[in-house]
Structure 1
Amino acid sequence: MIISIIGGTDGLGKWFASFLKNKGFTVIVSGRDNIKGKEAEKELGVLYTSSNVEASKKGDIVIISVPINVTDSVIKEVAPHVKPGSLLMDITSIKEGPSKLMKEYSNEGVFILPSHPMFGPETPSLKRQVVILTPIEGEINPFFKKIRKFLENEGAKVIVVSPKEHDKIMGVVQGLTHFVYISLGSTLKDLEIDIKESRNFASPIYELMINIIARIIGQNPYLYADIQMHNSQIINIHEAFIKNCEKISKIVQEQDRDSFVENMKNSAEHFGNETKRGLNCSNKAVYAISRENEKLLKSIGKEVGLKHIYSENVHCGILKEVYSDYLVIKQNEKEIILNISNVSLMDDKDLKLWKDENLEKYFTDISVLFKKNIDLSIIIELLAHKFEIQVIDTYSGEKIDKNELSVTFRVYSFNKPELKVLRETFSFIIDNIGGKIRY
């Protein structure tokens, strides 16, 4: 099966090109930037063409992945060239308009399945990601069940709604959310608030709010503008929000405490049990941030593993310093500065697994004499708390006393110079539990 991705040289289109290529499909990508297209072709092992029309003619599935503001024009360009029996999809965050245009401009026999992946190109896989499918009402689409099953088999959560219902919900989930936080960012700018300084006075909720504002305003402003301006439901949502802002502001100006309380109670009643859920979830978020910061502070001077939350690259070394926004880790005699917000602290189990898979391991062998009737399992359990060890040999015979047992331990380390120190510590412990170093 050939999958053509219109706009597959960048962003989410490129993500799907890589993902689908790795699943064994033949993938064609198109894009207007020849340099970027050739780079994608070489990097991903896909086929590149600068012609959207040529790509659409060859695809058994044609996926349109372009910015919202050009989605309509690209649909009009490529839809007439999709061959009958094929599937035409788009992955933009607006569904009503594109759905109608794909239906209008496609040839008879072309199946249509508008979709909206609710994640970005930094996502490592489809596991636990939401994908919304908005099939055309009344259309029998043989691809629908196959696409849904494929996504669910990859771990995605699939939601099926109409294009109109999608845009109404997304007008709130994306449109209202972005509108509120972008407005908050503008307000803080107009108030000339020093954001970094304000964090010193921050409550946990303010800290979360600042992080969310920064997350949104730090991304592609053209995408966010298009989300606001291409959803027909947005204006009504804005008006409802502004109306409530003005109403609450007036209540405050008039010092009408009872009305303020009533307004909050009415909102809480509308939320129902979601108020308790929201409290619990926000508490977890606050607690997680605080707990990781505490763990980092307690880990100064110790070996840690820090995984980058986007690239998943791991930095392993001795944690030297922790500042408000940054930390310093010593790795292979080199100090590396990392942004705390970009990394997560690995637990001991995950760090050990990573080290086993990625680092060279060294060892030293130490033979010990014990009383023959000793319970070796207890000795091993004791030593395993301090060392990574393995019993490689046990011996009783002519070369040692008949009442003794010789046990050879292999002690491991990822740091070769550390083996000498480990050997000395091991010998000290053995002497104190009644054993004798043989060699």
Structure 2
Amino acid sequence: MKPKISIIGGTDGLGKWFARYLKNKGFDVIVSGRDIEKGKNVEKELGVKFTNNNIKAAQEGDVVIIAVPINVTERVIKEVAPHVKEGSLLMDITSIKEIPAKTMEKYAKKGVVVIPTHPMFGPSTPSLLRQVVILTPSEEHKKSEWFKKVYNFLKEEGAKVIIIPPDKHDRIMGIVQGLTHYAFISLGATLKELNVDIKESRKFASPIYELMISIIGRIIGQNPYLYADIQMFNPKISEIHETFIDQCQKISEIVKNKDREAFVKIMKEASKHFGSEAKRGAYYSDKAVFALTSEIENLNKLIGKEIAVKNINSNKIHFGILKSIDDDYLTLEKNGNEQKFNILRVDVFSGEELEKLKRKHLKRKHIDISILFKRDVDENIILKLLKDLFDIDIVDIYEGKNIEKGYKSITFRIYGYNKKELKDKEEEFLRIIKNIGGKERFSKIKKLKN
């Protein structure tokens, strides 16, 4: 029998993500939250049970997951941990680990297993496949049956599981998240203070500047409260900030003094510290730059041709003729109507991929065209040649009444997706047929309403 899972703060964000994911895996899920209306909507949407009573949710769960914002995690753990029943599992999924780990260990009953956890992904992730999940249990709880179950479940779902102590986690995250966010938010704030017109600056941008602006935009566009909590609740952040500021000031002084050799020394020493990762960084950024430029180049080659555009958020697919590309936008034309799409938010398909999508999402129509050929013509050779140009089959071969002596009628079926496309294909088909000795007998468009 699968354990009952209670998610404290399961009506939003990553808590809601886990509620949906675990419910879909067949677990009985309870979620709690302060907003009753939102909770009832989540209850109906996901098919889970909702309560606005954290303690009640904690008492009912065999597994209790704390999924509240960092700034209230410690308080909520103190509230619910004493009510988690013996033999159960208590977890949290915040991005800091020392404070939650110590608090859960202190306030949980004896016999409750504690596994502090950090999923390294956001609620837009489709599944656990190839996602990193960090577990930071004590040595005692690492030996428990609950730990084996959690570890095996994550591995079976395709996650990459890392097991480290909470203090080591917070130091690494202080760099991976804390320093990264701090540096890029500082860059964004600097550009704001300098009153830089970001859109204008991109006209003069190098590819690396484009990447930097994109990363800054991505970070400052996130939930600012979450990012504030990552900075303010990780006990390792202060030391990291001080080191970063010291280095910025040191380099600034070197530049002011025009000490070229000192500047070169800092770069060389940093490069030496990176070792092979310096080259990897160059290769990685080259690939990113190439991907950005090659996508635009490929799109320019498709202007005037039919493409499919898939929105990466909604997965909705649009078909049409690529009319133009302007900055970050492409214009798609269909039946005289135009639509604009942000290139950065869509996937574009052409060629064989386009045809596969059309077959999957559009109603396939056809036109039958009968052609007279001399009796000794090999229709299989003709079909083979035509298949390179059309989606086509032979549906009938006839000799006899009403057919000119020495000839046979071959009926070809050409497939398409609308009346105009089939008409264009018919004209091209007949032009080719006349050049190889065929004569039109009749044609008929089938199943067309548009």
Counterparts of 1:170 and 1:375, CA distance in 2:
71
The DSSP-based 3-state class of the residue aligned with 2:134 is: strand
Aligned to 1:221: 224
1:89 pairs with 88, 91, 108, which one?
91
> 1:169 Cα deviation (Å)?
0.6
Would the alpha carbon gap of residues 346 and 104 (structure 1) be closer, same or farther in structure 2, given more than 3 Å must change?
Answer: farther
What are the within-5 Å matches in structure 2 for residues 30-429 of structure 1? Answer: 30-139=32-141, 140-331=143-334, 333-370=336-373, 376=379, 378-393=381-396, 395=397, 397-398=399-400, 406-429=409-432
Counterparts of 1:248 and 1:404, CA distance in 2:
88
> 1:331 Cα deviation (Å)?
4.2
The DSSP-based 3-state class of the residue aligned with 2:202 is: helix
Does the 8 Å CA contact 1:33/1:50 hold for their aligned counterparts?
yes
1:253-301 Cα offsets, whole Å, 9 max, x none, are: 1111111111111111111111111111101111111111122222222
Counterparts of 2:376 and 2:134, CA distance in 1:
67
Please say which of residues 193-202 and 13-22 is displaced more in the overlay: 13-22
**AA of the residue aligned to 1:221:** P
**AA of the residue aligned to 1:210:** I
The DSSP-based 3-state class of the residue aligned with 1:114 is: strand
Counterparts of 2:206 and 2:338, CA distance in 1:
32
The DSSP-based 3-state class of the residue aligned with 1:89 is: strand
Counterparts of 1:85 and 1:391, CA distance in 2:
70
The DSSP-based 3-state class of the residue aligned with 1:138 is: helix
The DSSP-based 3-state class of the residue aligned with 1:131 is: strand
Would the alpha carbon gap of residues 133 and 43 (structure 1) be closer, same or farther in structure 2, given more than 3 Å must change?
Answer: same
Are 1:29 and 2:34 matched, yes or no? no
Does the 8 Å CA contact 1:396/1:404 hold for their aligned counterparts?
no
Would the alpha carbon gap of residues 151 and 325 (structure 1) be closer, same or farther in structure 2, given more than 3 Å must change?
Answer: same
> 1:211 Cα deviation (Å)?
0.6
Counterparts of 1:94 and 1:166, CA distance in 2:
8
1:103-136 Cα offsets, whole Å, 9 max, x none, are: 2111222222221111111122223222222222
The DSSP-based 3-state class of the residue aligned with 2:294 is: helix
Counterparts of 2:380 and 2:32, CA distance in 1:
63
The DSSP-based 3-state class of the residue aligned with 1:304 is: strand
Please say which of residues 311-320 and 174-183 is displaced more in the overlay: 311-320
> 1:154 Cα deviation (Å)?
2.6
**AA of the residue aligned to 2:125:** T
Please say which of residues 311-320 and 372-381 is displaced more in the overlay: 372-381
Counterparts of 1:107 and 1:373, CA distance in 2:
91
Counterparts of 1:413 and 1:32, CA distance in 2:
54
The TM-score, its normalising length taken from structure 1, stands at 0.93
Does the 8 Å CA contact 2:305/2:321 hold for their aligned counterparts?
yes
**AA of the residue aligned to 1:388:** D
**AA of the residue aligned to 1:44:** L
Counterparts of 2:326 and 2:289, CA distance in 1:
19
1:298-344 Cα offsets, whole Å, 9 max, x none, are: 22222222222333332322222221132222345532222222223
Counterparts of 1:144 and 1:352, CA distance in 2:
48
> 1:45 Cα deviation (Å)?
1.8
Does the 8 Å CA contact 2:98/2:166 hold for their aligned counterparts?
yes
The TM-score, its normalising length taken from structure 2, stands at 0.91
Counterparts of 1:50 and 1:426, CA distance in 2:
68
Counterparts of 2:263 and 2:214, CA distance in 1:
28
The DSSP-based 3-state class of the residue aligned with 2:419 is: coil
Aligned to 2:446: none
**AA of the residue aligned to 1:38:** K
> 1:402 Cα deviation (Å)?
9.0
Does the 8 Å CA contact 1:92/1:115 hold for their aligned counterparts?
yes
> 1:220 Cα deviation (Å)?
0.7
Counterparts of 1:378 and 1:156, CA distance in 2:
52
Counterparts of 1:56 and 1:212, CA distance in 2:
39
> 1:225 Cα deviation (Å)?
0.3
> 1:185 Cα deviation (Å)?
0.6
Counterparts of 2:344 and 2:61, CA distance in 1:
41
> 1:71 Cα deviation (Å)?
0.8
Counterparts of 2:80 and 2:390, CA distance in 1:
64
RMSD: 2.1
Counterparts of 1:218 and 1:87, CA distance in 2:
35
Percent identity of paired positions between Structure 1 and Structure 2:
59
Does the 8 Å CA contact 1:252/1:260 hold for their aligned counterparts?
yes
Would the alpha carbon gap of residues 369 and 44 (structure 1) be closer, same or farther in structure 2, given more than 3 Å must change?
Answer: farther
Gaps of 5+ in 1: none
Does the 8 Å CA contact 1:12/1:121 hold for their aligned counterparts?
yes
The DSSP-based 3-state class of the residue aligned with 2:118 is: strand
